[in-house]
Structure 1
Amino acid sequence: MNNFIMPLKIKNEKNETRKVGFELEFSNIEIENILQILQQGFDFEIKKKNKFLYKLNSKYGEFTLELDFELLTKQKLKNSLKDFFKQVSIDIDENSINKVEDIIGSLSQDIVPYEISTPPLPLDDMEIINSIVKKLYQNKAFGTKERFYNAFGLHINIEAVSLEVESLLSYIQAYMILQDYITQDADIDLARKITPYIDNFKTDYIIHILDETYKPNINELIEDYIQYNPTRNRSLDLLPMFAFIDKKRVMEKLPDEKIKPRPAFHYRLSNSMVGDSAWKVSDEWNRWVWVEKLANDKNALKDLSKEYLNYLNNFLNFKNWQSRMEKWIKSH
């Protein structure tokens, strides 16, 4: 059974089936157990990069499993230890350095999650991530809600229908209108809300972009976005998309940001509820489909943009916007 609702636009501008990638964080499970799950349950072929980073070949493409800690996965810690002992003239063997790395890795696993990243999956192959989550749950993996400090997330990278400015703008506007309702409906965990990583868009940018006179070209759209949002820390991160379109412009403006260019919306909001038997990744994807519906309904997008602007500009407005969005969603 496929639990993923299909969006209205299934094809990209090349008339190919759109693709979606997932990044899933979780803990409370040994990496050897995770590898066993992926190898035996899904016939993945394991390629070890180091003891904290693995690539896994599959019929879907290459998955990645890693401890989400750059010091370990990129072996920065090991290299730093070697340099340190060399500088203080202490001769230390590789085995001793490995032991130090193992100790730090073990200590970090309680607060640093493992992450499984999928390759871009065609829309009709997304159910594989639900199957992986089910196996992780059966093996006692934890997600966001298990501990108060588990700010674990699920990121979804949704290939754009088109890179034309009109299409991108409609998706951004739709998300602006829906972001507060989605945050409430998804019951975003406090540990994640208090971090800066999934900040929603601020009112000044929303007002700017929903104005009916705002008709930017692609350069203006990118420049305005960076001016109002000079960070990756948004619940919908558009920097990978804009870097794919104009890498030079984005990197010159934000040279210190770690940005992976790709023609996709980087949707970062969702909890990772791996420890909840009832939770599915498709639950979070299906909330995104509301954005797809509104972005592709020109009349509704125009009307709701005006209505939301009036709501934001009316200081004494006692209207509940979440209720308004719930009514619209139920009618569509």
Structure 2
Amino acid sequence: MTDLTETRARIPLEKPWPLPLAKGPEGKPRRVGVEIELAGLTEAQTAGLVQAAWGGDVRTQTDHDLTVTGGALGDVGVELDIVLRDRAGNVIADKLLDWSRAVVPVEIVTAPLLPADLARVDRLIGDLVAAGAEGSQDGLFYGFGMHLNPEVAGTDATGILPVVRAYGLMEDWLRAIDPIDPSRRLLPFVDPWPQTLVDLLATEGDAWDLDDLLRAYARLTPTRNRGLDLLPLLEHLRPAALSALMDPDMLKGGRPTYHYRLPEARLGAPGWSAVYEWNRWVLIERVAADPDLLAHLAELWRDHRDSLTGTRGDWALRVQATLGPAAIWS
């Protein structure tokens, strides 16, 4: 199977794939936090549906900031995803928040889940859609996404650099096999990593330590608006070094996870699910876990860049030709 779009058929919608490295630094199963953005429902309606699906009690901080505590999958936050939310309680701010639901999403933030629990996330999404929730495909200005936060398998360069390199080399291919809606491409948070960063990852990244990664990332892509935002992970690992190089507004707190930011949350759309997006992440980690395959992709990238005329589309086809027959699909 060589067609880019047909490759999607090889990625399951309902069965979460296991990670090649299933345990984290402390020897416990790796988990993944999920963030889902949606429109069409209020925060209270959304929290009620979370409670109905997973149990627990709804606790209200403000009308725009709720938590479902004690449920089967841990605590779940439900909030309006906007800075103004922090000023809720002020009459003017509350009215602005109510009005902003037309363009600003309600966000669900789960506790860290086992990959197998993602099937239950999809059932919750089905409940949300049945109640009137809308996804990114339902409105021209719905710049909503879904974020996955997989726990790292290790906190040293050996555990992190292969995943970072695999993502950089695969990003154009991942975007090509499931193209972003044209209206989303105009939004800043869907920009790919700059090719200059991928150049470094392909030419010297196999010998980097974490400080090398931090310096290159902070210099070449000092923003959270990327498909894979490494700032939370780097802030967790090297807080002082990162803060010395970065605008403090870009640093929101560190955590030992990859912040994988999907530019669309196509709730209820055929051929899309949280499990599907998770399995696309697993493909990245499968390539990272295969040193020979990763080295071959890096060599192909160097050749691609040396040609001077190659495009991102050309590179996606070269990755397709390499990964199509590779043993990463089961």
Structure 2 length-normalised TM: 0.88
1:110 matched to 2:123: no
Q: CA deviation at 1:330?
A: 3.0
Distance 1:288 1:213 in 2: 20
The 3-state SS of whatever aligns with 1:23 is strand
- For residue 258 of structure 2, what is the aligned residue in structure 1? 265
Which string of whole-angstrom CA distances, capped at 9 and with x for unpartnered residues, describes residues 98-122 of structure 1?
A: xx44432332111111000111112
- For residue 187 of structure 1, what is the aligned residue in structure 2? 179
Q: CA deviation at 1:56?
A: 1.1
Q: Would the alpha carbon gap of residues 214 and 33 (structure 1) be closer, same or farther in structure 2, given more than 3 Å must change?
A: closer
- For residue 85 of structure 1, what is the aligned residue in structure 2? none
Q: 1:183-332, aligned counterparts within 5 Å?
A: 183-212=175-204, 215-254=207-246, 255-317=248-310, 320-331=314-325, 332=327
Q: Would the alpha carbon gap of residues 243 and 68 (structure 1) be closer, same or farther in structure 2, given more than 3 Å must change?
A: same
Specify which of 23, 47, 50 is matched with residue 59 of structure 2: 47
- AA aligned to 1:326 is Q
- Preserved contact between residue 154 and residue 268 of structure 1 (Cα < 8 Å): yes
- Preserved contact between residue 151 and residue 189 of structure 1 (Cα < 8 Å): no
Distance 2:16 2:205 in 1: 36
Distance 1:305 1:289 in 2: 19
- AA aligned to 1:14 is E
* Cα-Cα RMSD: 2.0
Specify which of 45, 49, 66 is matched with residue 79 of structure 2: 66
Q: CA deviation at 1:278?
A: 4.5
Distance 1:250 1:190 in 2: 34
Q: Would the alpha carbon gap of residues 110 and 214 (structure 1) be closer, same or farther in structure 2, given more than 3 Å must change?
A: same
Q: CA deviation at 1:274?
A: 1.0
Q: Would the alpha carbon gap of residues 213 and 200 (structure 1) be closer, same or farther in structure 2, given more than 3 Å must change?
A: closer
Structure 1 segments of 4 or more deviating over 6 A?
none
- For residue 34 of structure 1, what is the aligned residue in structure 2? 46
Distance 1:279 1:303 in 2: 30
Structure 1 length-normalised TM: 0.88
Distance 2:166 2:205 in 1: 16
Distance 2:101 2:319 in 1: 39
- Preserved contact between residue 64 and residue 116 of structure 1 (Cα < 8 Å): yes
- For residue 25 of structure 1, what is the aligned residue in structure 2? 37
- AA aligned to 2:184 is R
Q: CA deviation at 1:313?
A: 2.1
The 3-state SS of whatever aligns with 1:47 is strand
- Preserved contact between residue 33 and residue 113 of structure 2 (Cα < 8 Å): yes
Q: Would the alpha carbon gap of residues 311 and 28 (structure 1) be closer, same or farther in structure 2, given more than 3 Å must change?
A: same
- AA aligned to 2:226 is R
The 3-state SS of whatever aligns with 1:150 is coil
Q: 1:7-26, aligned counterparts within 5 Å?
A: 7-26=19-38
- Preserved contact between residue 10 and residue 17 of structure 1 (Cα < 8 Å): yes
- AA aligned to 1:162 is G
- Preserved contact between residue 147 and residue 262 of structure 2 (Cα < 8 Å): yes
Q: Percent identity?
A: 24
Q: Would the alpha carbon gap of residues 274 and 244 (structure 1) be closer, same or farther in structure 2, given more than 3 Å must change?
A: same
Structure with larger Rg: 1
Distance 2:196 2:112 in 1: 33
Distance 2:321 2:122 in 1: 29
1:128 matched to 2:120: yes
* Number of positions where the alignment pairs a residue of Structure 1 with one of Structure 2: 311
